[in-house]
Every structure is written in structure tokens, then in C-alpha cells.
């Protein structure tokens, strides 16, 4: 009996040795950034020992690197439950990043309670904890919106691509107001051109200031208010609604979920001050940066930009239908709310016909279609292709119309591919979709402004023909 016991002990320790060696092998592959191979090693261990803490930690790290974030969270959660405290930092970050805010809060608090947490770690985790609490609160009030268009553009000039009409005012760099304003600071100029709200660092931090046109000069810039500039440590991207009292802006700081968050406030004429700004919430804001909310109350349209899920130096501009009253998603399905909050699930629609025009085509005619009027000048509009007096102008117009249709078709295909990319958690599926997205982006970006420029050329050619006939 004793002999069998000794053999049993030998086999037991041998199996532990083999298991330890296998985990060491997986860790070596992980350290060498051979994530797929390391994932297979850890995965084989978990088939036999699904609750092994070290194997789950290694597997979770691999899945994170491979882009399978949800799978990584599951394994890392098992690891911390098995007292693998090294798994906490990544688990906390991923829970926050993937909008599991309540889980992020509980894991951060558990990690902070450990005696070995350093002061530097505690400071970083406390900041993340406050943001996770904001996220958990915002996730309870996700607004239902209908997206009608989206476009990926360069971040350094994204404001030029907002298809807003002149009657909403204009967005310009703050440097046009004050030459010393920081790069990237933007300003809003009213439709009449007599009021400007702009971002500048006059008080040693980026905040919002206002100036008015006087008889022969501009008033001295003054801070909008402590209510607005106290929203965060950095304030930028202002827009004033057509009512003259509603202000939208973006802020970074303690009240923000990500980097920049979008806020709304209104001017209270009785107190000569702004009300406390409110975070616009999901899906307008994210754990990344969100910029420049513009709202057209007449045509029930809105625009905002975000760098969530975007490559470096790019942002996505979303155009959506505004709700007459805030319409929240009523659902007890947390996963559905998470997807809606991240804009991975939303209603798609079409904008109604409006007279809006793109700010970068101030002198170009409105985008036209066969069923719409083509404005030649303030007194002449064509409703039929046969009305053109110039054969050349008609040919240019048809070319513009063809390019616009191609642009619309390609943009629709691009939107579908982006939705498919955002809806899948599989790194393999994403790798298949990504090349098609890049191809479509190149084609769409190659057509930017071409239809509008051709419409302008058709207009000018037709005016020349009309002038000669006179």
C-alpha cells in the first residue's frame, strides 16, 4: 500500500510539473508576442483545468492582444477570483473599455482594497473608478437615435465636413479670431457675423470666451462663465443653437467619461449666467474623444464627431435625426444597451429634403437630384435636364449627378461594412472586413467635393451661355 502511495505522489508531482512547464511555455510565447501560439497553449490547459487561475490570466492576456475583448474579460475575471491579483489592472481597463461599467467599479474597488496596491496605482485607479461610475449612470439613459449618414475624415480639419447651412452660423479656427490661439481650438461665428464664441487659453487653460461686434470694433473677449469653463480642465468645440441661448461644447475633465465629452447648457437671462452644463450621455459620448455637436432645429438634424474605433488622426462624423423630445431606449438587456451606447447598434434612416449646404462649398449650388431644382442663379432654377441652354453645362451636370450617385452608393456600402465590423467580436472576422473598409474609404474620400465642384462648374458654364445669348 505504501508503494502505491509513493507512486501516486510521484505521478501527482509529475503532473504538476508538466502543468507548470506548459504554463511557463505559454508565458514564454506570450512574452515573445506570439499571441496565437500562446493562446493555444493556455487554451489546452483550460480544457482540462477550466478554473486554473494562471492559465486564465495568460489566456486573457492573449485574447486581449488578439482583439477578443469579451473573451479576455471572462478569463481575467476567473483569474482574479482565483487570487491572481496581477490580472486586476487589465481586467479593470477592459471592463471600462467594453462598457461593463458596474463590473469595472466592483473590480476597481476590490483591487484598491488590496494591501499591495501602490500609491501610483491607487491614484490611477481612482480616476478610472470615477469615470466608471459616470459610465454606469449614463448607461441607464441611452438615447435612441437614427443615423442618416457617416463619414471618416482627417481630424485636423473635420469641422469642414459638417453639412450645415449658412443659417446655422459657421465653425472656424480660433486663430481667425486671435492669432495666438492654440492649434486645434475652434470658434463659432453667428449667422449675422456679430457674435463669436471661441476656445482660447487666455486664462492659462483652454476655455470658452465670447466677443461681440461693436460699431467699429470687437468687444474685449470675456470668459463665458465659471459654470461653463468649470466643467473640465480643457473646453473646446463650441456651437450656439439658433435660439441664441443653447450652447453645446466639449470638455475634458472630472465630469467626462472619456477624453472630450459633449455637454449642453442654456443661458439664463434672469441670472445673466449659464445653467450647470449637462453631459449629453450615450450614444453621443464614449470612452474615447467626442467633438463638436451641431444641431439644426429647423430641419431636425444633428452632427457630432468621434474618434472611437478610429485610426490615429481620423474621426468619424455622424449625421442623425434629432428627437423632438429625448427618447430613451427602454430595455432591461444590458448587452443591448452597451451596443447602442457604443453606436454598434442603431436605427438607420434617411434625412428629409432640406436646404442645408456644406460649409466647404459656400458658393456652390445645393446638391441636386433629377427630382429637385438646380439653381442657376437667384432668379433661375431648372427642374428638367432639357432646360439647359449649354450642351457642355448639361454634360457637366450629368457627370456630377453620376458621381454623386456613386458617392452615395459607396458610402452606403462603407456604412454597412463598418456596422458589420463593429458588431463582431471575432478578430478573424474583423481581419476579413478591414481590407474592404479601407478600399471603400479610399474610394469615398477620392470623391469628396468632386460632385459639388462639378455642379458649380455646370452652374458657371450655364451662366456664361445665358450671358452670351443676351
Residue 155 has a pLDDT of: 94
Amino acid 352: pLDDT: 59
* Cα–Cα distance measured from residue 356 to residue 296, given in angstroms and rounded to the nearest whole number: 9
Q: Note the pLDDT tens digit of each residue in 301-343.
A: 999 999 998 989 999 999 999 988 889 998 888 889 999 999 9
- pLDDT at residue 469, rounded to an integer: 66
pLDDT of residue 370: 38
Instruction: Give me the pLDDT at residue 20, please.
Output: 57
**Whole-angstrom distance, CA of residue 453 vs CA of residue 240:** 29
Q: Where are the domains of the chain?
A: 2-138, 144-360, 363-470
- Cα–Cα separations (whole angstroms), residue 37 to 19, 44, 55, 61, 431: 17, 11, 14, 12, 18
Below-50 pLDDT ranges, the chain: 1-4, 8-18, 354-372
In whole angstroms, give the CA distance from residue 296 to residue 322.
Answer: 8
At residue 8, the pLDDT reads: 46
pTM: 0.70
Give the pLDDT confidence of 380-391 residue by residue, as tens digits.
777 778 888 888
In CATH, 2-138 is 3.40.605.10? no
Q: In terms of C-beta density within 10 A (0-12 exposed, 13-18 middle, 19 or more buried), how is residue 74 classed? A: middle
Taking CB atoms within 8 Å and a gap of at least 24, the contacts of 448-453 are 448/161, 449/360, 449/361, 450/400, 450/403, 450/407, 451/367, 451/400, 451/401, 451/403, 451/404, 451/407, 452/358, 452/361, 452/364, 452/367, 452/400, 453/361, 453/364
Give me the pLDDT at residue 362, please.
30
Distance CA 445, CA 178 (A): 32
Amino acid at each position: 500500500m505504501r508503494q502505491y502511495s509513493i507512486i501516486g505522489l510521484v505521478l501527482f508531482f509529475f503532473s504538476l510539473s508538466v502543468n507548470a512547464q506548459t504554463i511557463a511555455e505559454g508565458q514564454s510565447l506570450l512574452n515573445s508576442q506570439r499571441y496565437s501560439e500562446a493562446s493555444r497553449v493556455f487554451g489546452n490547459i483550460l480544457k482540462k483545468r477550466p478554473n486554473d487561475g494562471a492559465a486564465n490570466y495568460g489566456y486573457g492576456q492573449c485574447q486581449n492582444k488578439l482583439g477578443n475583448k469579451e473573451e479576455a474579460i471572462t478569463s481575467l475575471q476567473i483569474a482574479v477570483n482565483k487570487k491572481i491579483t496581477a490580472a486586476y489592472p487589465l481586467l479593470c481597463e477592459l471592463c471600462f473599455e467594453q462598457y461593463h461599467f458596474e463590473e469595472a467599479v466592483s473590480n476597481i474597488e476590490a483591487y484598491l482594497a488590496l494591501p499591495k496596491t501602490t500609491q501610483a496605482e491607487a491614484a490611477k485607479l481612482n480616476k478610472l473608478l470615477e469615470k466608471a461610475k459616470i459610465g454606469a449612470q449614463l448607461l441607464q439613459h441611452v438615447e435612441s437615435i437614427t443615423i442618416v449618414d457617416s463619414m471618416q475624415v482627417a481630424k485636423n480639419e473635420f469641422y469642414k465636413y459638417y453639412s450645415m447651412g449658412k443659417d446655422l452660423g459657421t465653425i472656424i479656427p480660433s486663430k481667425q479670431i486671435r492669432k495666438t490661439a492654440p492649434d486645434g481650438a475652434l470658434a463659432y461665428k453667428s449667422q449675422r457675423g456679430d457674435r463669436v464664441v471661441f476656445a482660447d487659453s487666455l486664462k492659462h487653460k483652454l476655455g470658452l470666451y465670447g466677443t461681440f461686434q461693436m460699431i467699429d470694433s470687437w468687444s474685449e473677449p470675456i470668459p463665458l462663465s465659471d459654470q461653463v469653463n468649470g466643467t473640465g480642465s480643457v473646453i473646446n468645440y463650441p456651437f450656439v443653437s439658433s435660439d441664441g441661448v443653447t450652447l453645446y461644447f466639449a470638455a475634458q475633465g472630472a465630469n467626462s467619461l472619456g477624453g472630450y465629452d459633449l455637454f449642453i447648457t442654456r443661458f439664463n437671462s434672469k441670472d445673466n449666467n449659464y445653467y450647470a452644463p449637462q453631459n449629453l450621455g450615450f450614444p453621443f459620448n464614449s470612452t474615447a474623444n467626442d467633438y463638436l455637436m451641431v444641431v439644426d432645429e429647423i430641419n431636425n438634424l444633428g452632427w457630432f464627431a468621434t474618434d472611437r474605433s478610429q485610426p490615429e488622426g481620423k474621426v468619424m462624423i455622424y449625421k442623425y435625426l434629432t428627437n423632438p423630445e429625448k427618447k430613451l431606449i427602454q430595455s432591461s438587456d444590458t448587452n443591448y444597451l452597451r451596443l447602442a451606447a457604443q453606436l454598434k447598434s442603431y436605427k438607420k434612416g434617411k434625412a428629409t429634403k432640406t436646404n442645408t449646404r456644406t460649409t466647404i462649398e459656400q458658393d456652390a449650388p445645393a446638391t441636386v437630384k433629377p427630382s429637385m431644382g438646380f439653381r442657376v442663379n437667384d432668379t433661375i432654377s431648372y427642374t428638367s435636364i432639357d432646360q439647359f441652354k449649354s450642351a457642355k453645362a448639361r454634360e457637366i451636370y450629368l457627370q456630377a449627378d453620376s458621381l454623386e450617385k456613386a458617392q452615395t452608393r459607396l458610402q452606403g456600402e462603407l456604412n454597412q461594412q463598418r456596422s458589420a465590423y463593429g458588431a463582431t467580436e471575432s478578430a478573424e472576422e474583423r481581419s476579413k472586413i478591414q481590407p474592404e473598409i479601407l478600399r471603400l474609404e479610399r474610394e469615398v474620400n477620392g470623391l469628396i467635393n468632386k460632385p459639388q465642384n462639378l455642379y458649380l462648374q455646370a452652374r458657371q458654364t450655364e451662366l456664361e451661355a445665358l450671358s452670351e445669348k443676351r
